[in-house]
């Protein structure tokens, strides 16, 4: 696959993954759906995430990832997949709250965002099950734990969590 990723770090975060890791996660999410692909990933702080979330979704507050699929009508098909806006502070906080490693949560959020760019969503229960199953499969292939399982602090047993 020919993959081009523009990574913009608008937020300094020592927990941000390196470019090679991001490319590996994006490639795993795209699988065989595209031969050629271009996308941008912008890593932002909570204020910028909240601004985007309010402007484009009408929701207040920062969120872990926003996906903006490329949908312009062009004479020839273009390899542009779209843009992801990832809020580093939210992602780091979620990893801690969900008792996940920061790296595993970064991988999951990148994969989750790329799947949105490919047209997957989790609005309807059936679609959510399909998307979560695919995310889990990709994470396991990358040797990460299932993303929708966290430890229950009271018993150390895994419990299921759902996407937002």
pLDDT digits (tens, 9 = 90+) for 98-123: 999 999 999 999 999 999 999 999 99
The pLDDT, as a whole number, for residue 15 is 86
**Band of residue 13 on the pLDDT scale cut at 50, 70, 90:** confident
**Could you count the other beta carbons within 10 Å of the beta carbon of residue 70?**
15
Residue 160 has pLDDT above 60, yes or no: no
Q: What is the mean pLDDT of residues 128-139?
A: 96
Q: What is the mean pLDDT of residues 48-60?
A: 98
Residue 162 has pLDDT above 50, yes or no: no
pTM of the predicted protein model? 0.90
Q: What is the mean pLDDT of residues 84-104?
A: 96
Residue 164 has pLDDT above 50, yes or no: no
The pLDDT, as a whole number, for residue 7 is 96
**Band of residue 1 on the pLDDT scale cut at 50, 70, 90:** confident
Burial class (CB in 10 A: 0-12, 13-18, 19+), 158: middle
Residues 6+ away with beta carbon under 8 Å from 84: 39, 40, 41, 42, 65, 66, 67, 68, 110, 113, 114, 117
Beta-strand relationship, 80-87 and 2-9: unpaired
**Band of residue 150 on the pLDDT scale cut at 50, 70, 90:** low
Q: What's the chain's average pLDDT? A: 91
């Amino acid at each position: 696959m020919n993959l081009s990723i523009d990574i913009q770090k608008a937020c300094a975060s020592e927990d941000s993954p390196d470019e090679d890791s991001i490319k590996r996660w994006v490639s795993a999410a795209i699988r065989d759906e595209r031969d050629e692909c271009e996308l941008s990933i912008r890593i932002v702080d909570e204020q910028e995430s909240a601004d985007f979330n309010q402007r484009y979704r009408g929701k207040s507050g920062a969120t872990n990832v926003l996906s903006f699929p490329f949908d312009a009508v062009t004479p020839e098909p273009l390899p542009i997949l779209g843009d992801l806006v990832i809020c580093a502070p939210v992602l780091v906080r979620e990893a801690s709250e969900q008792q996940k490693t920061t790296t595993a949560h970064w991988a999951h959020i990148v994969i989750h965002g790329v799947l949105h760019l490919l047209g997957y969503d989790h609005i309807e229960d059936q679609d959510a099950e399909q998307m979560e199953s695919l995310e889990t499969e990709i994470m396991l292939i990358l040797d990460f734990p299932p993303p929708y399982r966290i430890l229950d602090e009271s018993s150390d047993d895994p419990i299921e969590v759902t996407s937002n």
